Structure 1
């Protein structure tokens, strides 16, 4: 079922795959550190988060953090500046650990004891499409009650799995028009 819009944008329509916007929204709900990792404040905050407890440090090591405890201490004190590769490693490990820490809480908030969460679908922008080729696409809302696969794929950082889960669990519930909402300009929901 997914990938029906193989030539999306051929006539000028503008939009993004829905699962990418869902991942961005879940990231914003996770409450990541706003300061970039390249700043002293952002680096220090991420390192403190990753080393705040032995459990956090173990999770960071499992997420790919390979720098030594001595190097971490030197970077926290400001006596050593990490390389670009190390900064990417720290940021990636931070994102994975943060997602693991908030996934269960976020899932409970989205499921709301079986009541689900209302999701808003904003259709693609067709302002650049010639008038005869424009579709009639409307703003839609849907109450989503099954978030398990979506949150699990987001937590694992599995883009293909998130795409499949989003289409299979949510988009097909829009009925026969589901293909019109594979690409959208915005996906809105709160938790």
Structure 2
């Protein structure tokens, strides 16, 4: 697409891609377990979430948690501890299943029966850029009405699809200066 930044940060600007900031905000709305996985409480909370029903167990297996039921039971009872690799698999499976479970709820919340949700674009940081090279970029708001592709890509953890959906369904509606908001400091939702 035109206006995509090729050498972002060349003169000292800092920020993150808009779709990454949107994904962080969606993660915050999803309400993941905040207790660290390395603690007993955090591990148990994730394992209970992944094993409480047969449907949850199947989803966890589909998401990459491939240990036996006997091993899961030993972890739940505290007789054994998962390896680093299995801790990573538990966290990945938990986030995948949680995203899938809350995607429909988030979609309804963000679309608000066609009214959409107001999004705040906080521009990238130019404090380290020399004065003559700074752009005039200001805080902008926009009402995004179509969240289907954005939430679908976020739930699938597909960064490329999320980037494309974020640009075409949200950022382009900012007008002719939409390329200036490809990188941002943060994105805020009024959801």
Within the alignment, does 1:161 sit opposite 2:161 as a pair?
yes
1:25 is aligned to 25
Q: Does 1:14 align with 2:21?
A: no
Distance across 1 between alignment mates of 2:29 and 2:2: 26
Q: Residues 75 and 81 of structure 1 are in contact (CA less than 8 Å); yes or no, is this contact kept in structure 2? A: yes
Written as runs of structure 1 = structure 2, the 5 A alignment for 1:35-184 is 35-184=35-184
In the TM superposition, what whole-angstrom CA distance separates every residue of 1:146-179 from its partner, at most 9, and x where no partner exists? 0000000000000010000000111111000001
Displacement after TM superposition at 1:3 (Å): 7.0
> Deviation at 1:36?
1.4
TM-score between both structures, scaled by the size of structure 2: 0.98
Q: What is the aligned-residue RMSD (CA, Å)?
A: 0.9
Structure 1 distance, partners of 2:98, 2:2, is 29
2:5 corresponds in structure 1 to 5
1-side partners of 2:52 and 2:188: how far apart? 33
Whole-angstrom distance in 2 between the partners of 1:182 and 1:10: 15
Contact 1:2 1:167 in 2 (8 A): no
Structure 1: where are the runs of 5+ without partners? none
- Does the 8 A contact of 1:2 with 1:164 survive in 2? no
| Alignment partners' CA distance in 1, 2:23 and 2:38 | 23
Contact 1:123/1:138 (8 A) holds in 2 = yes
